[in-house]
Structure 1
Amino acid sequence: MALEKLGAVFNQISYPLQYTPRKFVFHPDSNITYIIETDHNSYTDDVKNTHKRQMAEKMIASALGGTSEDMVLAKESAAAFLSENLPEAIFGAPKAGPGMWASLLRCFKPLDGSTCQIIRFPQNEAAHALTFVKFNNHPAEQFLVVALVKDLILNPRSCSGGCLKTYRIWNNGERLEFLHETPVDDFPAALCAFQGRLLVGVGNRLRIYDLGKKKLLKKCENKHIPTLINGIYSVGSRIIVTDVQESVHWVRYRPRSDSQLVIFADDTNPRWIVHLAVLDASTVAVSDKFGNVTILRLPPNVIDDIEDDPSGNRALWDRGFLGGASQKCDKATLIPGGSEGIVYSTISGSIGMLVPFASRDAYDFFQHLELHMRAEGLSLVGREHVHYRSQHYPVRNVIDGDLCEIFNSLEGSKQRSIAEEMDKTPSDIAKRLEDIRTRFAF
C-alpha cells in the first residue's frame, strides 16, 4: 500500500460474510484466502433450522383437539413459517445466550469475491486459529490446520476442551479435504509451523505435533508458560511465545538431546499481549490491551542453550503509549523506497507508525521539541502529558510525534518563541517535521 498524500481515498470493495472474521491466511501460490469466522451468542444454521421445525411442530400440536378448520389453519401457518426466510442483516439473528458459538471456515477468492468452499463446524465449536504446515513426512503436500475450542465461556474463562482439524489442500488451494481430528484437553489459541512440524499453544502448554495417519502425534511439551498462550512465532531455531497476561517468552527447541522445549528468556513485566511483530531474531514489538507498545530486545550475551531456569534472561529496550488499545502491529514500508517502520492500528480506528531515528542529533532535536510542546499544556481535557503517556508503564525512549506535529498549528508568536529557545527558526522546525514524515509515510 502506497500513500501519496494523507487523506487519499482508497478504492475498496466490501464482501459480506456470515460471521465475524477472526483470522485468515493466504495460499502461497494461488493467493486464495482461508478465513475462520466465529460469532459468540449465535446459533449455527443446522440448529436454527432444527429450532424452526420444532416451533412449526408446536404450532400444529397446539391445534390438536380443535376443529378440522383449526388444524388446517395451523398446518398452513406452520408451512408459511417454514418457508419464510427473513434476512438477518435487516431483522437480526436470534440470540443464543452466553457460551453459544457458531463458526465456519471459508475458502475465498479476494480478486473476484467468490467463495470456493465453506466448511461449517458444529454448534459450540469455535475456530480461533489456523495455519499452513508442510510436514517433514509429507514434504510434497500442503496442509491447513484449524484450532477449535468447545463450549468456551469467556468470563470466567472455561471450556470442555478443543480439537485440531487437519485438511489436505487440493486444486491449488480451491478445495480442502478433511484428514483427521486431534482432541486436546484445553483451549488451543495459537498455531505456528516450525521446522516441518506444528507448534500448538494448548492452554498454558506449548506442544510440538507431527502428522500421523489417524491424528496429529504429540512429540514434546513445555508446561511453564504462566496463563494462556495466545501467539506463537518462529525465527530460525528460536520460538517466541506470547502469554495473554504475562508478556513474551523466548523458547529453544532441543531436538537432538531429549526433544525438549526450554524457556531461556522472558520479560520482567506482566503485559496483556494482543499482537507481536518480529523485528529480528532478538527484537520484537508487542502491543497490549491497554494501548501500550513495547520493544523488547534480548541482551547481546544471551545464550540459547541454557539450563531450564524459570528466571531466564530478560531485557526491556523501550516502550510507549498509543492512546488506544492496539489490535495489530507489523514491520512495513509504506512508500516505495522508504525506510521501514512499525505500523500499528488501534481498536478506535487509528493507524500510526513507529519509526527509528537515523542519528542522535535527530533524536535530541525532537526530544527538545517535545519538551517545549509539553510545556504549552495543549490538552483540551487538562491532562498532564507525561503522566498520561506513562499511566501503565513509564514512557521511555519514545517521542510523541502527534504532539510535535501540533507545532505547525500554534500561533506565530509561540512558534517563534519555541524556535528561539531551540536556536532554530520556525521554518527549520517545520522542515524537520516534514522530512521525517515523508521519509517513512507520506
Structure 2
Amino acid sequence: MSRESNLDQLTNWLQARYHDQTEYLQATSEIARDVIDVFNANEAYKQYDVLRRLSVPERIIHFTVHWLNDDNQVEIHQGWRVQHSGLIGPYKGGLRFHPTVNESILKFLAFEQSFKNALTGLPIGGAKGGSDFNPRGRSETEIMRFCQAFMTELYRHIGPNTDVPAGDINVSGREIGFLYGQYRRILNQFGGTLTGKDISFGGSHVRTEATGFGLIYMLEAVLETHQTPLKNKVVGISGAGNVALHAALRATQLGARVVSLSNSRGALLNESGFSENSLTQAIETKDQHNNILKALSDDGHGDYQADASPWQLNMDIALPCATQNEIDEPAAQKLVDHNVRFLLEGANMPCTTRAHQVLAENKIVYVPGKASNAGGVAISGLEMSQNAAFRRDSYSDIDTTLKHIMRSIHQQCLQEGQRDGEINYAKGANIAGFRRLADAIVMQGL
C-alpha cells in the first residue's frame, strides 16, 4: 500500500472516532506524517499495526471530584488521567489544573509525552492528567482540599511501578506536596509515586529548573551544530512560569540577551535584556504576585504592555514557553519579520500546523517540544531512581546528567533527521521516539 494510502487510512480512522478532539488530531497527524515512511518500510511494524496502536491511549480514567470550598459550599470538578503508553516503563507525565483542561488536550499531551519520554532513553512510559479546577484566586486551604479530594479519586490508579504523575501548569511544589501527603495517608506508603516533590521529602535537585535549563542546553547543542555561539544572541521568550523564567535565567547566565517574557495579559519587554538579578527576583517572588511581570515593570526591569506580543522586537532566537498553539500563522510571520533564525519549543505544541509551514518556508531552524523541553521529565525519571534507591544525588551531578541527556536527544534528532546537509529536528525526534516505541510493541506482541 502507498505512503499516502496508509497515512489517509490512519487519519480517516482517527477522524471518524475523535472528530471533535482537535488538539489530539493535530498531534497524531503531525507525527504520522513524519514516521509513515519508516512504518511502511518495516514489515513487522505493519504486521503489528504499530502506528494505529501508538495513536490511541491504552487507558483513560475519568472521574468527578467533589470538595468543600471556604464558604462550605460543595464544588464539583472533572478529573482525568490519560495513560497513553506503558510499553517501556511506568506511565509518566504531569497533572494540569486549568479551566481549559479537557480530554482532547490531555490526550494530545499524553501522546506527545510518550514520544518525549522515549527520547530520554529512560524506562518511562507516557501519560498526562489533570482537572478543569482553576486555582487562581483560591485560598491555600481550598487548594489543599481540592488536591486531597483529587488524589482520593486518583490514588488507586497510580504507584511507583504503575504511574508516576508530576506537576504541570498550576501544579507546582505546593500542590504536589498536598497530593503526595494524601496519597501517603491513604496507602500508608512512602515512595516515589509522584515527582516534583520538595527536597525535604524525596525530591530531586534541579527538578524545578530542569525544563527551562534543559531547553537552553538543547539550544546550545543546536547552535554548536550550526556554528553559532549563544553569547550575545538576542532571545525572545513567551510565558512567565518555571520553564520561561529558568530558561531566561540560564540563557542570561550564558551570555545571551533575553528581551521578552509574557503572560495571558501582556508582555514584558526590555531591549537591553533582563539582568540575572531581575530574573532571580522573579523566580523567588512569582508566587507572591498576581502578575509578576507587571511587578518587574514597576521595579524598573522592563516595559510591561497589556495585550502585547512577546515577539515584537528583533531577535535571533524564539523560545515559546507558554501553552499549546500560542504561535499561529500571523505570529510566525511576525517572527520571520523580526529576523528569528532559531525556534525551540519550551511549551508542548505551541505552534499551529500553519505556523510550522511558515517556519519551514523561511528556513527557520525548528526544534519540537518533545525534544527541546524533555529536561523536566528526564529529571523526574532520575527522581524516581533516587527514591527507589533511597539516595539523593548532588545538584552539580544532576545538572551534568541533564546536559548529557539533552545532548543525547539532540544526537538522536541528527541521526534520524539529517539528510543531504539539512537537519529536520521535528522529523528526527518523531522517528527516533517512534522506533523505540514501535520496537517495544513488536517485541511484546499483541
Query: Is the structural similarity TM-score above 0.5?
Result: no
What TM-score results when the alignment is normalised by the length of structure 1?
Answer: 0.28
Of structures 1 and 2, the one with the larger relative CO (CA 8 A, separation 6+) is: 2
What TM-score results when the alignment is normalised by the length of structure 2?
Answer: 0.28
| Higher strand fraction (1 or 2) | 1
| Higher helix fraction (1 or 2) | 2
